[in-house]
Amino acid sequence: MHRPDPMTRVLAPGPRTVRARILAPSLRVVRACILAPGPRAARAPARSAGLIAGAATVLLAAGPATALGGEAPAGALDRAPPPARSAPGSVRPAIPLAQEAARREIPTGCRRGGPPFRTNGPRNKKVVALTFDDGPSDYTDDVIRILVREKAKGTFFVLGNQIPGRERLLQRMLGWGFEIGDHSYSHPQFPSSGQLSITRNRIRKATGFTPCLFRPPYGAVNRDLIGRARTLGMMTINWDVDPRDWSTPGSGAIYSRIVGAAQPGSIILMHDGGGPRGQTVAALPDVIRTLRVRGYRFETVTELLRHRFVYEGNQR
Ligand SMILES: [Zn+2]
């Protein structure tokens, strides 16, 4: 008589929650130790649920979890962020998000004022600005997804040489109400006017938005550079909170450095490009939640500085 394998029943295909220890959180690929309900689970065929006990690489997707041997395929858009700093946790199907930005009007520019160089906004309101440098990159979509889901805004300081092929990503940022700033063309120290204007023009061509913020590569500034940016209509923006996420100190360190240093008006530096940014992506949801619990709101840099976006019938 045929007796069905009990684990086959337990692990029948379909959306379900599994206990897993997250080993290296990232939105694109999560390496997880699946905590099986019993010793027999270790012998259950992977194909029955797409999961095996022990180390596994898991794509977090809408619907049943899927075991993968490598990177998530292109177009696997519905990825849930892993539960950072919570192990063991649950790997759950993602909440599907609309792939396109909310169809809000995209600004054409902004009205500026005040000093041409800033590292923070007003200290009298519990508002901070999350900023992301060196993109756009393959991580940028994950950052956007988290910001949208957590209802927080961000400002992206992009490199001109990373824009080609990612024009729609820039449009999507603005469509969600985020901001784009100029981070030079190829990230040299003290970039020339040409470095700034190429990037500004590429942003404008891609989106119809003319950036009004410049972030200097490495945060290196002098009077001439601030003047060059100002001539091109941009304020120079550094930061007052730096978790040094570029050094990949671990998502826990990135989280604690940010929430330990943030104060009203803070401009928080992070990176969505220029290297492996999975730790930054993994830390971001808890950064937002913790600061929100403390009463903070998240605005773009232009909003933080009490400037206004300008809308002139941008049809993009
Ligand atoms: Zn940079």
Q: Catalytic residue among 245, 271, 272, 286, which? A: 271
More confident residue, 94 or 209: 209
Say how many Å lie between the CA of residue 33 and the centre of ligand 1: 34
Contact 164, 304 (CB under 8 A): no
CA distance 65 to 171: 31
Parallel, antiparallel, or unpaired: how do β-strands 127-135 and 109-111 relate? unpaired
Answer yes or no: is pLDDT of 178 > 50.
yes
CA torsion through residues 191, 262, 87, 244, sign: positive
Q: Please report how the helices 193-207 and 167-175 are oriented relative to each other, as an axis angle in degrees rounded to 10.
A: 70
Residue 75 has a pLDDT of 28
Question: Region 199-218: what's the mean pLDDT?
Answer: 97
Contact 296, 126 (CB under 8 A): yes
Say how many Å lie between the CA of residue 37 and the centre of ligand 1: 45
DSSP alpha helix (H) spans, the chain? 6-10, 46-49, 140-149, 167-175, 193-207, 223-231, 251-261, 278-293, 301-304
Least confident of 175-179, 201-205, 289-293, 309-313: 309-313
**How many other C-beta atoms are found inside a 10 Å radius of the C-beta of residue 207?**
25
Tokens 């995209």 locate to: 106
Say how many Å lie between the CA of residue 122 and the centre of ligand 1: 24
Answer yes or no: is pLDDT of 90 > 60.
no
Say how many Å lie between the CA of residue 24 and the centre of ligand 1: 24
Least confident of 76-85, 150-159, 193-202, 301-310: 76-85
Say how many Å lie between the CA of residue 137 and the centre of ligand 1: 13
Answer yes or no: is pLDDT of 221 > 90.
yes
Look up residue 39 and give its DSSP letter: G
Residue 50 has a pLDDT of 39
Task: Confirm whether 133 is a catalytic residue.
Answer: yes
Answer yes or no: is pLDDT of 121 > 60.
yes
Contacts 24+ apart (CB under 8 A), 79-83: 79/27, 79/28, 79/142, 79/145, 80/27, 81/25, 81/27, 81/142, 81/145, 81/146, 81/281, 81/282, 81/284, 81/285, 82/22, 82/25, 82/26, 82/27, 82/30, 82/32, 82/282, 83/22, 83/25
Say how many Å lie between the CA of residue 187 and the centre of ligand 1: 6
Say how many Å lie between the CA of residue 77 and the centre of ligand 1: 26
Say how many Å lie between the CA of residue 214 and the centre of ligand 1: 11
CA distance 210 to 194: 16
| CA nearest to 244, candidates 255, 235, 234 | 255
Residue 102 has a pLDDT of 54
Distances in whole angstroms, Cα of residue 218 to Cα of each of 30, 115, 191, 239, 315: 30, 20, 11, 11, 35
pLDDT band at 114 (very low <50, low <70, confident <90, very high): confident
Question: Region 157-163: what's the mean pLDDT?
Answer: 98
Q: Give Dmax (Cα) for the chain.
A: 85
Tens-digit pLDDT profile for residues 229-260: 999 999 999 999 999 999 999 999 999 999 99
More confident residue, 8 or 241: 241
Residue 209 has a pLDDT of 97
Least confident of 42-46, 99-103, 124-128, 140-144: 42-46
Mean pLDDT for the chain overall: 77
Say how many Å lie between the CA of residue 97 and the centre of ligand 1: 29
The DSSP line for 215-257 is --GGG---HHHHHHHHHTT-EEE--SB---GGG---HHHHHHH
Residue 179, Cα to own-chain centre: how many angstroms? 13
Answer yes or no: is pLDDT of 201 > 80.
yes
Task: Confirm whether 2 is a catalytic residue.
Answer: no
Say how many Å lie between the CA of residue 134 and the centre of ligand 1: 5
Residue 30 has a pLDDT of 38
Residue 94 has a pLDDT of 37
| CA nearest to 287, candidates 183, 143, 184 | 143
Domains of the chain with bracketed CATH = 11-91 (no CATH), 109-310 (3.20.20.370)
pLDDT band at 198 (very low <50, low <70, confident <90, very high): very high
Residue 31 has a pLDDT of 38
pTM above 0.85, yes or no: no
Contact 140, 148 (CB under 8 A): no
Residue 112 has a pLDDT of 79
Residue 283 has a pLDDT of 98
Which of 59-63, 65-69, 126-130 is modeled with the greatest confidence?
Answer: 126-130
Q: Catalytic residue among 133, 134, 141, 272, which? A: 133
